[in-house]
Amino acid sequence: MARLVMKFGGTSVANLDRIRNVARHVKREVDAGHQVAVVVSAMSGETNKLVGLCREASPLHDAREYDAVVSSGEQVTSGLLAIVLQSIGVDARSWQGWQIPLKTDGAHGAARIMGIDGAFLTQRIDGGQVAVIAGFQGIAPDNRISTLGRGGSDTSAVAIAAAIKADRCDIYTDVDGVYTTDPRIVPKARRLDRVSYEEMLEMASLGAKVLQVRSVELAMVERVRTFVRSSFDDPDAPQIGAHGLPPGTLICDEDEIMEHEVVTGIAYSKDEAQISLRGVADKPGVAAAVFVPLAEANINVDMIVQNVTGDGSTTDITFTVPATDYDRARAVLAAATDQIGAHEILGSTDVVKVSVIGIGMRTHAGVAAACFKGLSSKGINIRAISTSEIKISVLIDAAYTELAVRTLHSLYGLDAA
């Protein structure tokens, strides 16, 4: 017998037929003798509808009332799933985030989880009842409902799994696991049986949309084994696959992975913009004059490249920001022109970041060289580079995205046989 948290996203609960399918998945685990808590998202499209209503009501709406409205989607889903489970003979009860309670900070609309007392839920599931929990929401210090930001149901599920000391957190979604890259670009992409927390965190932050970044961060900190699988699989199909698990991808500690591939996957992110400052004085304090105002405006800076001119008097600074922050970043820099002293500010949004990820890179030389050589052979120019122990990211023209991904995927031997 295991203690499981099962999380179902919006497409998995899009209508009553799919909710009934979800109930069959839950009943299968209950019939197998497992203790189960379920976390659900709002029905597909429902949150967008509620957000739109808030904006239509008032463009400058109160964030606390916004949370009261948009959190209602998960409340509907949790109640409906509990009703369907009861109708097929499963003892189930729905709960809202504030009833657990899942406590957050006061940043309404983008709250962070501060803590969960798992005693209440543990008591319920120990008694054989399935707890159906509305994801994406908690309770803030002002005693009002708070929401965790888009994709927050994943984070809710992992946090609850940690609080009740679950053996595993199963994330049911519309794909059957984590792939070596986007199968829409590379049909030969392979589903990975296991991925380390560190690799998944890099993949999620660099463009892979399977899991929300904060949920992976939390899983890594709390060491919550997380399993990504499809909710559209037949609930009655055999549940034995790789490592004794159904088809899917297990995100786990590095120690659970027997053999590390040098490269695990290729990710890409189109949400990138490049800004270049030309003719900046090469003296102490200039970099701070550039990046401190951006930080104060809550604009994240990623890749940074600095080139000093031949005479050493000036330098060019190039960096990337999220595409959604591009115009705001240009305005912040323009306001700080006197402190920066740049001759001109240039920029581009027609760029993409492609990343090579793999925990095996720690112990293998030549991975970066192979990447640069492979892209060069296809005539792809690299605008900027950033690296970590298990990642190499390059900024290229957006027109070459698919060619770059396919080239690197084949180069590192990730194509399926």
Specify binding-site residues for ATP.
7-10, 173-174, 179, 184, 209-210
294 with 319: CB under 8 angstroms?
Answer: no
How many CB atoms are located within 10 Å of the residue 332 CB?
A: 18
Residue 92 class from Cβ within 10 Å (0-12 exposed, 13-18 middle, 19+ buried)?
Answer: buried
Alpha helices in 277-319 (DSSP H): 286-296
66 with 108: CB under 8 angstroms?
Answer: yes
Residue type, 360: G
Residue 104: name the closest of 66, 63, 59, 136 by CA.
136
Residue 290 to residue 146: CA distance in whole angstroms: 34
For helices 213-222 and 197-205, give the axis angle rounded to 10 degrees. Answer: 160
Q: Which DSSP symbol is given to 394? A: E
Residue 235 to residue 27: CA distance in whole angstroms: 9
Cα dihedral sign for 5, 11, 17, 21?
negative
Helix H, strand E, coil C: the string for 319-367 is EEECHHHHHHHHHHHHHCHHHHCCCEEEEECCEEEEEEECHHHHHCCCH
Alpha carbon 149 to its chain's center: 12
Query: Which residue is listed with tokens 């993409």?
Result: 352
275 with 202: CB under 8 angstroms?
Answer: no
> What are the Cα distances from residue 15, in Å, to 19, 29, 43, 53, 314?
6, 22, 7, 21, 61
Residue 297 to residue 329: CA distance in whole angstroms: 8
Residue 284 to residue 251: CA distance in whole angstroms: 44
> Binding site residues for substrate, as ranges?
47, 74
Cα dihedral sign for 321, 323, 326, 328?
negative
